[in-house]
Amino acid sequence: MSSALTRRNLLRGAGGAALATGVGLPLAGCGGDGGSGGGGGQAGGTVTFVYYGDAEDQKAYDALFNRFREEHPEIDLKFQGIAADSWADFANAVATRLAGGQPVDVVQIATEGQRIFMSKDLLEPLDSYIAKDQALVDAYYADTPEPIRRLLQQYASQDGHTFYMPGGYNTMALYINTDIWSSAGVEPPTDTWSWEEFRAAGEEIKAKTGAFLTAAGNGYFTDVMPWLLNNGTAPLSEDWGSSTLNTPEAVEALTFVRQLVVDGLAPEPGGTFDAPTQMAQGKLASFGGGRWPTNDLRRLDFIEPVQLVRWPENGSAGTPVGWDAFPILKMSKNKDAAWTLITYLMSEEFGDAVTTGGGATVPARISDATGPAFLDDAPENTELLVELLEVATPIPGPDRGPEMQMVIEEAWLQGVSGTKDPQTALADADSRLQGMFA
């Protein structure tokens, strides 16, 4: 199964972005009757599921949903992938369809877009459906991590209503090439470690092997947020209502990463840098990632020497987290059938199939994320991706999130590349961000 089937390449280069503002989302009621919770629509009929993916993903979904079709012949399931360069582009395409009245019943929405879709009154509350299938939902929640359930309630619920059922997620760890570390005579960390220890290891690695310690990109999810969160700060406030980018901690984090580049411990940013390939070639000792790099390493036949470790800390531990979730659109004319699809997406059968198929996220179900299909043929200590939920902060999803992400990534690149000093780069970006909250 392709990585796009779950959180796509969120995270292969840049952090996911949700809803761009170039295409306005319609208010509820446009393009279809709203219906009523729990009773809207028919038990059968056509259900259209829109997801982030391309033609290859269409084949994967086709195989995954064969069993669903067998069990529910009364439902004509149509699944449509939207190939896009980012979650922002995907969300724009969904918004265009909704504005044009094209039927959509269930849609895959990443963390960054969940609050936006909800705030536009586009979604049907799921409370009555959950009550109807309470035992099924309770069993699903019992097998999903408490932090995901808590964060979903905090950031993607409204007025006490539930609008989403959660899917797979990604946290951020460091993938390290143990062969390089061993050749340099450096022991990989077994638990927490400091920025100073990370840098000292890089100096030994560079001197004895010539390999870079790590990559220094500007992806929101993969590069910016991990350094900030592991220094006790974040790009936005907890409620996503103001910028916190211009803090001493943020400047310190960017300065540290810039110095890695200056000292030759990380390559100059820019151009194409395929971290898994560079690691397999012995040129890179570590890079950040969630679950998705495992598929790249499998294709390179380079799983055995790789291990996952925690991100180095400077007095505080943290990781970004993003997750998929599935709502029912208010425009749906077959809401009961749409809920039936969501219950299938929650099922053990679907979770097992996604895990076995090589999905690019950590499975929603703990039983899958701790089982052999997920942990076998994967880097050592892959279970760390689950453990990191305890220190996870969601990737922000405010109304102008995609624009803000671009500002933050631009500032980070300026600082890492030396185009601006870190203090100036972040101060300028912070000023622009504050204006977006007005």
* Beta-carbon contacts of residue 259 (< 8 Å; ≥ 6 apart): none
Handedness of CA 216, 13, 315, 186 (dihedral sign): negative
| Inter-residue contact 393 to 311 (CB < 8 Å) | no
* Residues β-bridged to residue 162: 157
Q: Does domain 3-170+323-390 have CATH number 3.40.190.10?
A: yes
CATH topology identical between 3-170+323-390 and 173-320+395-436:
yes
- Per-residue tens of pLDDT for the chain, all 438 residues: 333 333 334 333 333 433 333 334 443 333 333 333 343 334 789 999 999 888 777 787 888 888 899 999 999 999 888 888 776 677 778 888 888 888 899 999 989 888 888 888 889 999 999 999 999 999 999 999 999 999 999 998 988 999 999 999 999 999 999 999 999 999 999 899 999 999 999 999 999 999 999 999 999 999 999 999 999 999 999 999 999 999 999 999 999 999 999 999 999 997 778 999 999 999 999 999 999 999 999 999 999 999 999 999 998 999 999 999 999 999 999 999 999 999 999 999 999 988 887 888 999 999 999 999 999 999 999 999 999 999 999 999 888 888 899 999 999 999 999 999 999 999 999 999 999 997
What does the chain come to in residues? Answer: 438
Span 173-320+395-436: which CATH code?
Answer: 3.40.190.10
Domain boundaries, the chain: 3-170+323-390, 173-320+395-436
| Inter-residue contact 341 to 254 (CB < 8 Å) | no
How many C-beta atoms lie closer than 10 Å to residue 271's C-beta? 6
**Long-range pairs for 414-422: beta carbons < 8 A, 24 or more residues apart:** 415/254, 415/255, 415/257, 415/258, 416/216, 416/217, 416/218, 416/254, 416/257, 416/258, 416/261, 416/269, 417/261, 417/268, 417/269, 417/270, 418/258, 418/261, 418/262, 422/251, 422/254, 422/255, 422/258
